[in-house]
Amino acid sequence: MAKMEVKTSLLDNMIGVGDMVLLEPLNEDSFINNLKKRFDHNEVYTYIGSVVISINPYRPLPIYTPEKVEEYRNRNFYELSPHIFALSDEAYRSLRDQDKDQCILITGESGAGKTEASKLVMSYVAAVCGKGAEVNQVKEQLLQSNPVLEAFGNAKTVRNDNSSRFGKYMDIEFDFKGDPLGGVISNYLLEKSRVVKQPRGERNFHIFYQILSGASEDFLCKLKLEQDFSRYNYLGLDSAKVNGVDDAANFRTVRNAMQIVGFMDHETQSVFEVVAAVLKLGNIEFKPESRVNGLDESKIKDKNELKEICELTGIDQSVLERAFSFRTVEAKQEKVSTTLNVAQAYYARDALAKNLYSRLFSWLVTRINESIKAQTKVRKKVMGVLDIYGFEIFEDNSFEQFIINYCNEKLQQIFIELTLKEEQEEYIREGIEWTHIEYFNNAIICDLIENNQTGILAMLDEECLRPGTVTDDTFLEKLNQVCATHQHFESRMSKCSRFLNDTSLPHSCFRIQHYAGKVMYQVEGFVDKNNDLLYRDLSQAMWKANHSLIKALFPEGNPAKINLKRPPTAGSQFKASVATLMKNLQTKNPNYIRCIKPNDKKAAHIFNDALVCHQIRYLGLLENVRVRRAGYAFRQAYEPCLERYKMLCKQTWPHWRGPARAGVEVLFNELEIPEEEFSFGRSKIFIRNPRTLFKLEDLRKQRLEDLATLIEKIYRGWKCRTRFLLMKKSQIVIASWYRRYAQQKKYQKIKSSAIIVQSYIRGWKARKLLRELKHQKRCNEAATIIAAYWHGTQVRREYRKFFRANAGRKIYEFTLQRLMQKYFLEMKNKMPSLSPIDKNWPARPYLFLDSTHKELKRIFHLWRCKKYRDQFTDQQKLIYEEKLEASELFKDKKALYPASVGQPFQGAYLEISKNPKYKKLKDAVDEKIIIAEVVNKINRANGKATSRIFLLTKNNVLLADQKSGNIKSEVPLGDVTKVSMSSQNDGFFAVHLKEGSGAAGKGDFLLSSDHLIEMATKLYRTTLSQTKQKLNIEISDEFLVQFRQDKVCVKFIQGSQKNGNIPTCKRKNNRLLEVAVP
């Protein structure tokens, strides 16, 4: 439908037939073709009156957006295209405005989209009801209960990746304003057999895979689980991973949902511990063992799994181990204990796992109900949403399919009853005569199953309670005796016949003719599944657990409350639950959603006619259409009917001034519709045959085309007249503007001609005046020149002698002046850069300017050096002063000097103030440290080096131990007399001390450093600053060093490259130390 198109009726732009009640002809083929046609155009919803048929598209469609919610909000049910939102809105408005309790029944087979439909209903109601903090919290809790129940109650099957394996009925409670107050959830028949065994291609319940995929390593460790699915016997490996399903993300969603619903942290932990225990129960395996008395018993093979289960659940290991090996039977005052063989032990293990998980699920539902129940006690309105299994017909149908189909029989019964009741009430309300409608009443089938004396469930319970040998075959024999004559029951053998009645039936089967078709049931497992026994020893073991949740799940295990009465069977419990559900539904106004699965491949765009036909049959949809069409197929209120068809009659078009009913009567009389085809109700018009409605629609369509043609004709005429008038007005405007333009052009041409004439006249006059002025000027100039020449002649005659005597000197001075001026102007343009190291200077142009040229070069260099120095900070000046001092001391004297020019003088190489290693040394020196460096002190005895820290302060030279930081020597600067070093490329130097001083007791220091130039320069400058005397720096390849009382000669020689580039020092004799420099 186009964006700007407004749809006002279900019949507008209809693809196929939107309401099956209007389908002509009505048969199975036309029904399926109509569904297929709508499905191919993405119309997945179709009506049968007020019933919604929903086909699963198996892909997301853009029809559930907030805009769609607003589109269907407060709209008439038949006003827009069929949609689940229309039914949801109708139910919600009936509940809010008419104070009628509602129920929405969602049925269909697995994979048909029942769960998604229930979510859509709840999300729509949540979107359209009131707002507010408390209301939003209630809505959020109601919506978040779904992920929790889906995780624990849904599983992947061959038909559906998210199949509900339990029935759910939720009563949502509202206040008088229509705001949600809370809710109550009821669950029916969880498929607990899936816990221990899954069919091929299917998975266990989602929660097992979600925990293993999404829980953290620490959390799994607490639960004593591992991420590997193959470690657990209860998990089928062939379908462990499902495409498009992120179990890890879903686990996070479930935990968040449990928190929102109101689960405490310890409750959540307890739930997951029970799930882990169920998972690990499947890993317990048994081995046979013979006793002395010849009876077989079983023993657990590996007790590690049992130990971990007991640690999780707080059960005594010996108690649980005995419960798996023995069974105690109590009868009045007697107790009999028997051993379990391997098969019985496995049965007990699986029974415990199924019961533990089933009771946990029931506890979850109860716990959620505690959180979402209404807190106030005011009168409430209720909307129920029933999401329950659809009719199931498999190749092998067992007890589960039997009771599921029984439930669907009851739902079909109430559906027919309530549909007929609704029809009858509307007819009575509108004053239309009610005629009896013939339809198939499936009460006879319900009676076959649920009759208290002869029903199949009663026979099953009776067989389970009967003493003696009870098997599935004995149960079938009893059915053959009691039910063989029933017209909807079939079996291979009958009560009074010894020959085969039906060769298509196996011996261990019976068949029931349900309303949806014949279903064959395998009796194998009926008795066991109906008994659903859990040995009392296991119940008591569970009750003894220190785990509060597990203990609460098995109240019958309490020895103080031992009940020897046999627990109710699964069939009787389900029968009671269904009866309660039916009673509840009968008190509410029903709304139906019938879900259909288009194909078995779970793929989009595929419509399997045979599969859809099968579902149409067992959902009884054709029967439903026939019931709705038995009286009047279509009904509509007078106002919208008149509004839709008023253009078909001249008297009602375009406006009808009287009552709507009178207008409809006039309209139908004008159209000459037979009176038997319609009836007038109090507020609605009833049309019997869909053909009559389609005839009205065809007439309306033709009339709309005629009206559209008329409107188009009038519009085209108006458009042409408007265009003509506009063109006429435009022509007048254009003509006026053109005339104005033409006159302006003519005026401009005349004006420009006048200006040209004027300019020529003015030019002629100006040229004439110019000629006169030039002639006069030439006359004046000639007179002036003649006078000048005359005066010049007179002056030259008078001063001829004077000029001849001084002309040479004047010309010489003038020439020199001009040359100097030219020299300085050229120098201005040829000045070099301001860099002090730039040695470029312009060439000398004249020889006589040689001294001037050199002096200018010197002055310019001094000036640019001053400009360069003015840019320095005080710290930079100090650095350059030190560098300059080093240059004066060592340039061309010490081979090591050139390498030190580019290295900045840092001084504090050790960062004593920051390094905690030297804290002791820092505390001992309270003066500012000028240089701190590690040096090598040369031993006078053997020439070997020892590391020392060399410190220079304002007043002292200190040597300290590098490891301990202890000060070894402290020399005042006044006691330092000389520093000696070689001229070669080495770092050796000697510090000579004043004889007789306190520091000279051990003699002079012979040291080696990587920063010799910097240390000598700083020592020189510091000594000069403090003592006002220059320190003697001796550079020689041979010098004497005082060691105690001896004087030793230190001699520097060129050595080999054996030690690389490192100088070596050796003691040659008592008077000679030899330093080999590479």
* Residues with a known catalytic role: 110-111, 115, 160, 163-164, 390, 392
Bridge partners (DSSP) listed for residue 491: 510
The CA-based dihedral angle spanning residues 563, 566, 571, 576, taken in that order and rounded to the nearest 10 degrees: -50
> Is residue 478 within a helix (H) or strand (E), and if so which, with residue range?
helix 472-483
> Which alpha helices (DSSP H) does 223-264 contain, by range?
247-261
**Residue 406 burial by CB count (10 A; 0-12/13-18/19+): exposed, middle or buried?**
buried
Q: Is the dihedral of CA 693, 696, 698, 701 positive or negative?
A: negative
Given a contact cutoff of 8 angstroms between Cβ atoms, the answer to whether 667 and 638 are in contact is no
Gyration radius of the chain over CA positions = 57
Which residue from 402, 354, 361 is spatially nearest to 187, judged by alpha carbons?
361
**End-to-end C-alpha distance for the chain, whole angstroms:** 97
Question: Which single residue is written with the structure tokens 């038949």?
Answer: 78
Q: Identify the DSSP state of 938.
A: E
* Cα separation, 146 vs 159, whole angstroms: 21
Given a contact cutoff of 8 angstroms between Cβ atoms, the answer to whether 424 and 434 are in contact is yes
Which residue from 355, 371, 408 is spatially nearest to 190, judged by alpha carbons?
355
Cα angle value 403/409/410 (rounded, 5°):
95
Which residue from 973, 974, 924 is spatially nearest to 949, judged by alpha carbons?
924
Given a contact cutoff of 8 angstroms between Cβ atoms, the answer to whether 554 and 542 are in contact is yes
| CB neighbourhood size of 155 (10 A) | 25
Helices (H) and strands (E) in the chain, counts: 30, 31
CA atoms within 13 A on the CB side of 513: 13
DSSP string, 691-753: HHHHHHHHHHHHHHHHHHHHHHHHHHHHHHHHHHHHHHHHHHHHHHHHHHHHHHHHHHHHHHH
Question: Which single residue is written with the structure tokens 């002791």?
Answer: 920
CA–CA distances in Å: residue 318 to residues 300, 325, 648 = 12, 11, 89
